[in-house]
Every structure is written in C-alpha cells, then in structure tokens.
C-alpha cells in the first residue's frame, strides 16, 4: 500500500528558479523531504545498486502530512449568469454519442444548485435512457425518464422541454444516420408538480452534474448544445433536432454553444447574443468527429463545423490540483543533472524526480544528456499488464507487479498512459505530469523491462547517469521539455549530445532542433532503441502535457476514423516514418523488432575494421562478442531493436559496425515493417530482426553513433564498468567532444 505520493509543478527547473512539491501522505502527522542527486536508480544487487547523493538544501526537513485526493473526470462549464437564473420555461437540445450508456447517473447538461435542489439536469440513466430532473428550490426534486435506452457508439439528437406553468415535460430521442434495430425515435410527455426551476445561481455544466462536487461524469461525445427560454412541444423539439438552431425564434435563444471554436485551446463559444462562453476542464478529447462528420474531410481545420464535438471521459485527468507543501529555490551554482525530492514516512517512500538544467552563466559541460521526458509521459502510470489480454504472450513471462502497479490498478483516478484506454474503451490521447507518476521513479521495476533489472524509461536512463558519473565525464542535463521549447539555443552550446535509452516520442520542434544541430556539425550519440518513432504535440499554453494520435498503426489502441490530426496544433499524427522523417534520418537506424524476455549480444562486421571507425574499437578485440552480459535481460541488445535501412534514410556512407544475433523467437518484427503477415518472421528465422551498431559522418564535421538497442545502457556497469560496452561508449563520447572535425 502506497502511503505517500507526490509530484512537482515542473520536470525541468533552471538554477535560481523555484520548484514546488505537492504531496499527499496517509500519515497526517509528518513526513520527511530531502533533495538528492540521482546517480543510479537500479536497486538490482547484481549491479552497482541504488546510488544517490544528499544535497544540502534549505527545503530539506520535516513537514506536516495531509491527505490530498484526485478526482478525475472532464467537464465543460459556463460561469453563472443572470440570464440563466431567470429561466422559467426552457428547452435543451444536443447531439450525443454515448460510450457507456449502461452506466447510471451520467449527466449530459446541468444547471443545478445542489444545496437548494434548484434547477435542472439531463442525464443518462442506464436502461431508462434519458432522464430529466427538475428542482424548484423549495421541495424535493422530481425526475422523469424516457424509458428507452440508448446504444453505445451511436449518434442521437436528444431534446427536453419544461413548461413551468403546467409542469409539462416533453422528451425526445432521435437516432441519427443508420438507425439501429429497435431504435426508432422515442418520445414522452409527463406532468410534474414542480412549477419552476428555482432560479439557480450556478454554472451551466456539460458532462457533470456539479463541478464543485465533481459528480455524475459522462462518457461520450456532446455536440452543438443549445438552450432556449421557451417550452416546445414534440413537433417543435423534432424541428429543433432536425433543422438546428435556425428552427428556434431568435428571442427564445439563451445560448447556442459551438464546441468547434478554439479546438486547440480550453474555451468554447456561445454564438448567441448573451455571450455565455465557457471552458473545459481536465482535458476531454477535442478534434473529434461530430454528429455531422461525413467522411469528406479528415483534417479538422478544413471543416471545423464537422468537428464540433467534445469527447468527455469520467477518468480524464490533466491537473490533480494538489496544494503545495514545499518550494525550493534551486541554487544558482547547483550542478546540472537528475535530482529528486525523496519523501519518507514510516514504512514507505516516494521520489519526485526532476532535472536541473545548466546555468546560462556557466560554461557548458562537454556532454549534454537529453532525458526523454515526453516518452516518460507516454508511459506514465500505464496499466497494460493489468488490462491487456496479451501481456503475458508479449512478455513471455508472468508479469511481476510492484506495490506501485497494484496501487495504480486500484486507483484509476491517477490516470493512465498513452497506451491505455479510458473506461469507455477509447484511447487516451493526452498525458500530463501534473499528477503523481508512480512508474517514473528510481528503484521502479517494470513488467516491460525484460528479465533481470526490468527497467524502463526514467529508471533505465539512470544506467546512463550512473555511467557518466563513474566515467568522470562532465555532463549537463536537459529534458524533452527544454529541447522542445528552446532546443536551438541550448544545443548550440554543445558539441556532443547523448540520448536516453528510449526517446520514442518526439515533437516536430524537437526534430527540427536536432536536425539543425546536426547540420551545423553537432555530434549525436544515440544510446537507445525505438527512438524518434511517434510524433507528439505539446500544448501551446498548458504546461506538462503531450498528445498522441495513433493513426495507421496502433499500440494499445488505434485512432478512430477522422481523428488523426492533433488537437493541440493541428499536425497529422502517427509514425515519423510515415511522415517522411524516419528514425534512420537522424540516427541511421530505426525500430524493426521487439522482444521482452532475454537480451543478446553484438558481433562485429567487416566495416568495424574501417579506419574511420578505429577510434570506436580502441581496446576491443576483433573477435570479442560485444555485450554478452548486462542487467537488462543479460545482454546489450534487447527489448526493442533498431537497424539500418538506406531506403528510409540511413546515409549510404554509414558504416554498419556490428549486428546483434541469437535473439529468441519472442523477438518479432514491428507491424509497420510487414506488408503481409506469415509464419517464420521471428528472430529465429529472419535476419532483419536485429540491432545494428552504426557510425557515419555528417556535414560541417559532425558525426552520429547509434547502438539501436534499449538494453545497451544496462551493460555499462558490468564488471565494475570494465567491459567492451563501456569502452566503446567512452571511446565514442571522448572522440565526439574533441574539437577535431570528422
């Protein structure tokens, strides 16, 4: 059981800038906070073991504990307005696309004062379908249900009206497009004892009943909602559903909301004269197809009117909203690197990792390490081994769960990863760091990390920080956030850049900054696998969140038709390979295969004897197997593998120095490399299922060295760092930081 958790307001912080820590502790008496420099996060006793360095920091100390909760679920809200509180008669109409219609109490729209039981809300109530609740603020609220369920994944026009003088409620449910069996139009009229809606002073809310109480979250899309100040009969409701707001007399229109406005932002417009604009909360999915999408357009910017829907989820989470417990002003002279706030209570601990970026006032270190924080977010709090039926087959072993994994499975309010699905089975498009991320921690072992240490993402990257610390090479550290925001200026200060073990998720700006760095003579050391693979988008104004659209090929889920363009910036999503910028362009190698049981080794090829590569193998014998040892699966070539391909961008002059070999039959080619599926494509039979070690020169005296394997860094510490993987890595980096041009 996890009893202490936390997160920070940023992942990268510059010297002389503040970072805030937000913490929840089940022990409400106290907890301890200490800042540490993370050196080696792998606790496996077969290696160097866990290592950190305590930092003398003013923020270190004992703090009073308190529980802080997360309430997930997205909604949209319009601030309280006098025109809303003056409603007597009313009509509400919208198009809905429910995705968990069997769940009761899902509110579509609400103008509701819970304390006074005043106002109304329209909901889905399981088998009873649409229900309308009316409260006059002086008695018990009344509810009337249509009595006809809706089906999942179908568009409906729904409408309700209420006449205060008579208490008459009229409801209409009209299936759109291809009407499913037993889903003809349904309607009902009834008389309530209520004679008004009680003048609620409240927000108008979509997809939840009460924003303050966070209840009644709805799963599904809502499109083109409108509110009138008159009660319509059945014929009037039908006309409104079919002809839209044009069917309503101008004087009756209270609000006509257009969700196609500001799709990249967090607001939406009311096109009526009342200006009842609103905003969204917890990032429901936008740039999704609406009720009128006809398949003629696929880019939402080309026809925003066909993307006027918002897809709400009861488990959306952007910002946990916790209060701050401690703030640390990072010293101006603190060395750049990977740090953490270590939190301890009796029987439990947590780490909040963060990067301290290099000071602009100090000379740059010879080496810049880029930690792939965008990829950390892609896997943040993933539930695949719990939720995916094929997890054991993919891994070829029974997944071993840590207390953190079990906690996440039991507490879905902490959100999932970009590989997970929402509770309604739709894919998760957005992932944020403004929440505790339990698998982005030192000491964390992942079911994805193969046998042995079983590390993935951040903790695997501490194999690199541990090696750099041991090697004596001075290095600075930044994250993907920094590369995206200010990459050109940062990279210009360095000659040699080193990647993390798995920089899989990359924005356009990140690609552009690295390409410019390489064109100007920069040297790139790619010490990972499956890098530069998926295109992502960062939000322009919301910090710490990334978006992915898995179009054309899926991984955990695949984007529905018409939703392949990112909502954050309008770019087409998917694989960089499909966008003309395959990973082979910046690194010489690209993702071709994966397997998650054991790792293998590399064997040198004739090109390794080329004089151009002599520096790489200084001190390494020609017949030596490279990396037939290691903490990740027992070898340096494993988990996910990249190989060279001139047709995808590997330079023709590149030297393929070594191949990996002897992988198990669990190593299989990636989906996008297959034109047709047939037996005999595993590593046992296919020579293309391998990692390639590649070197090539670039313009202006630059160069690239790539290993094409996530497991490579796990072999660095073998035999107290005295081994050929460590030697090759040191040879390359020391040559790459040399001012001598290639």
Shortest CA distance to 651 belongs to which of 592, 696, 608? 696
Among the listed residues 692, 581, 607, 586, the one whose alpha carbon sits nearest the alpha carbon of residue 641: 692
What per-residue confidence (pLDDT) applies to 51? 98
At residue 552, the pLDDT reads 84
97-106 tens-digit pLDDT:
999 999 999 9
CA dihedral 204, 207, 212, 214 (to 10 degrees): 170
SS3 268: strand
Evaluated on CA atoms 726, 732, 733, 734, the torsion sign reads positive
Percent of the chain with pLDDT over 70: 97
Residues 6 or more apart whose CB falls under 8 angstroms from that of 471 comprise 721, 726, 730
Residue 86 confidence class, pLDDT cut points 50, 70, 90: very high
- Top pLDDT among 29 and 479 is at 479
Does residue 178 surpass a pLDDT of 80? no
pLDDT for the residue numbered 104: 92
Residue 425 pLDDT > 70:
yes
Cβ–Cβ contacts within 10 Å for residue 434, how many? 21
> Can you give the pLDDT at residue 553?
86
Q: Is residue 150 scored above 60 in pLDDT? A: yes
- Taking residue 251's Cβ as centre, other Cβ atoms within 10 Å add up to 8
Residue from 707, 401, 374 nearest 547 by CA: 374
Q: Could you tell me the end-to-end alpha-carbon distance of the chain, in angstroms, rounded to an integer? A: 54
Give one DSSP letter per residue of 432-497, joined into a string: ESSS--TTSSTT---GGGTTBT---THHHHHHHHHHHHHHT--EEEEEHHHHHHHHHHHHTT-SEE
Number of other residues whose CB lies within 10 A of the CB of residue 193: 10
175 vs 101: CA distance, rounded Å: 14
Top-confidence residue, 246 or 687? 687
As a whole number of angstroms, the distance between CA 735 and CA 367 comes to 11
Tell me phi and psi for residue 245, to 5 degrees.
-65, -20
Full set of structural domains in the chain with CATH: 4-70+331-360 (2.60.40), 75-312 (2.60.120.200), 368-736 (no CATH)
E strand residue ranges, 267-363: 267-270, 278-281, 285-288, 309-312, 326-329, 337-345, 348-356
User: Per-residue pLDDT for 447 more than 90?
Assistant: no
What is the three-class DSSP state of 515?
A: helix
* Residue 533: predicted pLDDT: 98
d(CA 5, CA 343): 8
pLDDT of residue 701: 96
Confidence check: pLDDT of 400 > 90: no
DSSP letter (8 states) at residue 539: -
Distance (Å, rounded) from C-alpha 44 to C-alpha 50? 8
Contact 388, 514 (CB under 8 A): no
702-706 and 523-526: which strand pairing?
A: parallel
pLDDT in tens, 585-642: 999 999 999 999 999 999 999 999 999 999 999 999 999 999 999 999 999 999 999 9
Round to whole Å and give the CA distance between 728 and 706: 11
The 10s digit of each residue's pLDDT in 261-275 is 999 999 999 999 999
Q: How confident is the model at residue 416 (pLDDT cuts 50, 70, 90)?
A: very high
Mean pLDDT of 493-522: 98
Residues in CB range of 168: below 8 A, 6 or more apart? 161, 162, 189, 190, 191, 192, 231
How buried is residue 105: exposed, middle or buried, by Cβ count under 10 Å (0-12/13-18/19+)? middle
Considering only residues 284 and 403, tell me which one the structure prediction assigns the higher pLDDT. 284
Q: What is the Cα–Cα distance from 587 to 603, expressed in whole angstroms?
A: 20
**What distances in angstroms separate CA 497 from CA 487, 489, 637, one per listed residue?**
12, 14, 22
Banded pLDDT at 179 (limits 50, 70, 90): low
The candidate with the shortest Cα–Cα distance to 404, out of 446, 347, 449, 448, is: 446
Contact 487, 667 (CB under 8 A): no
**225: confidence class by pLDDT, cuts 50, 70, 90:** very high
Band the pLDDT of 22: cuts 50, 70, 90: very high
The whole-number average pLDDT for the span 478-494 is 97
Q: Are the C-beta atoms of 508 and 568 separated by less than 8 Å?
A: no
Enter the pTM of the model.
Answer: 0.96
- In this structure, are residues 122 and 128 in contact, taking their beta carbons and an 8 Å threshold? no
Mean of pLDDT values over 171-183: 76
Q: d(Cα 729, Cα 737) in Å, to the nearest integer?
A: 12
Give whole-number Cα distances, 157 to 189, 192, 269, 736, in Å: 17, 23, 20, 63
How many Å separate Cα 283 from the centre of its chain? Answer: 12
Whether residue 180 has pLDDT greater than 60: no
Long-range (24+ apart) CB contacts under 8 A made by 174-181 are 174/238, 174/241, 174/242, 176/95, 176/291, 180/151, 180/154
> Looking at per-residue confidence, does 323 or 213 come out higher?
323
Has residue 29 got a pLDDT over 70? yes
Containing H/E element for 8? strand 4-8
Q: What is the pLDDT of residue 192?
A: 87
- What single-letter DSSP state applies at residue 420? S
Nearest to 111, CA basis, from 192, 221, 198, 240: 198
Selection from 110, 320, 71, 146 nearest residue 222 by Cα: 110
- Quick one: pLDDT at residue 389? 65
Helix, strand, or coil (residue 86): coil
For residue 322, is pLDDT > 70?
yes
SS3 content of the chain, % helix, strand, coil (to 5): 20, 30, 50
Q: Is the pLDDT of residue 360 over 90?
A: no
Closest CA to 478 of 446, 514, 444: 514
Helix (H, G, I), strand (E, B) or coil at 306: helix
Report the pLDDT averaged over residues 647-659: 98
542 phi and psi angles, rounded to 5 deg: -90, 125
- Whether pLDDT at 182 is above 80: no
pLDDT mean over 166-174: 94
Residue 161 host element (H or E): strand 156-163
Cα 552 to Cα 566: distance, rounded to the nearest angstrom? 14
């Amino acid at each position: 059981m996890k009893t202490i958790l936390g997160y920070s307001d940023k992942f990268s912080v510059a010297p002389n800038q503040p970072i805030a820590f937000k913490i929840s502790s089940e022990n409400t008496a106290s907890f301890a906070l200490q800042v540490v420099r993370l050196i080696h996060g792998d606790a496996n006793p077969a290696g160097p073991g866990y290592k950190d360095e305590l930092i003398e920091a003013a923020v270190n100390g004992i703090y009073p504990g308190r529980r802080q909760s997360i309430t997930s679920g997205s909604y949209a809200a319009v601030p309280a307005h006098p025109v809303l509180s003056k409603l007597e008669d009313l009509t509400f109409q919208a198009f809905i696309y429910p995705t968990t219609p069997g769940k009761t109490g899902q509110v579509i729209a609400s103008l509701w004062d819970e304390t006074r039981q005043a106002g109304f809300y329209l909901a889905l109530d399981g088998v009873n379908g649409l229900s309308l609740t009316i409260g006059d603020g002086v008695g018990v609220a009344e509810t009337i249900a249509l009595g006809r369920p809706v089906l999942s994944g179908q568009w409906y026009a729904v409408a309700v009206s209420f006449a205060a003088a008579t208490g008459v409620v009229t409801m209409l449910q009209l299936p759109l497009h291809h009407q499913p069996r037993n889903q003809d139009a349904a309607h009902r009229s009834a008389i309530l004892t209520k004679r008004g809606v009680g003048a609620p002073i409240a927000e108008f809310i979509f997809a939840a009943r009460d924003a303050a109480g966070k209840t009644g979250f709805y799963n599904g899309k809502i499109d083109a909602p409108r509110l009138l100040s008159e009660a319509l009969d059945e014929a009037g409701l039908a006309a409104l559903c079919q002809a839209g707001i044009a069917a309503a007399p101008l004087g009756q229109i209270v609000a006509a909301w257009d969700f196609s406005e500001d799709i990249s932002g967090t607001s939406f417009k009311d096109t009526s004269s009342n200006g009842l604009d609103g905003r969204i909360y917890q990032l429901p999915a936008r740039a999704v197809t609406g009720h009128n999408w006809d398949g003629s357009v696929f880019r939402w910017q080309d026809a925003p009117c066909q993307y006027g829907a918002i897809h709400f989820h009861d488990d959306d989470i952007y910002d946990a909203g916790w209060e701050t417990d401690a703030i640390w002003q990072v010293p101006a002279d603190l060395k750049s690197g990977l740090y953490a706030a270590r939190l301890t209570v009796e029987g439990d601990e947590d780490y909040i990792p963060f990067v301290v970026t290099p000071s602009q006032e100090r000379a740059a270190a010879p080496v810049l390490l880029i930690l792939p924080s965008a990829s950390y977010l892609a896997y943040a709090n993933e539930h695949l081994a719990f939720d995916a039926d094929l997890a054991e087959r993919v891994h070829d072993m029974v997944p071993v769960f840590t207390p953190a994994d079990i906690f996440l499975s039991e507490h879905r309010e902490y959100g999932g990863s970009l590989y997970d699905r929402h509770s309604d089975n739709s894919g998760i498009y957005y992932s944020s760091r403004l929440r505790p991320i339990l698998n982005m921690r030192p000491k964390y072992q992942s079911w994805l990390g193969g046998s042995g240490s079983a590390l993935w993402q951040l903790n695997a990257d501490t194999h690199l920080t541990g090696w750099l610390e041991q090697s004596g090479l001075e290095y600075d550290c930044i994250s993907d956030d920094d590369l995206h925001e200010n990459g050109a200026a940062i990279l210009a200060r360095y000659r040699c850049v080193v990647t993390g073990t798995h920089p899989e998720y990359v924005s356009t700006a990140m690609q552009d900054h690295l390409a410019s760095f390489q064109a100007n003579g920069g040297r790139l050391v790619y010490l990972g696998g499956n890098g530069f693979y998926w295109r992502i988008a960062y939000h322009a104004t919301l910090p710490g969140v990334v978006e992915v659209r898995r179009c054309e090929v899926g991984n955990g889920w695949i984007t529905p038709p018409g939703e392949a363009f990112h909502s954050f910036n309008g770019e087409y999503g998917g694989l960089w390979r499909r966008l003309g910028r395959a990973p082979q362009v910046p690194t010489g190698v690209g993702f071709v295969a994966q397997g998650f049981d054991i790792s293998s080794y590399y064997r040198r090829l004739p090109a390794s004897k080329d004089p151009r590569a002599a520096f790489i193998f200084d001190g390494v014998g020609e017949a030596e197997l490279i990396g037939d040892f290691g903490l990740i699966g027992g070898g340096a070539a494993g988990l996910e593998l990249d190989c060279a391909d001139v047709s995808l961008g590997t330079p023709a002059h590149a030297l393929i120095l070594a191949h990996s070999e002897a992988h198990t039959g669990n190593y299989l080619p990636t989906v996008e490399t297959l034109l047709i599926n047939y037996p005999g494509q595993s590593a046992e039979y296919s020579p293309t299922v391998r990692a390639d070690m590649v070197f090539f020169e670039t313009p202006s005296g630059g160069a690239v060295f790539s290993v094409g394997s996530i497991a490579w860094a796990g072999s660095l510490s073998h035999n107290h760092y005295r081994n050929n993987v460590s030697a090759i890595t040191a040879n390359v980096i020391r040559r790459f930081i040399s001012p001598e041009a290639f």
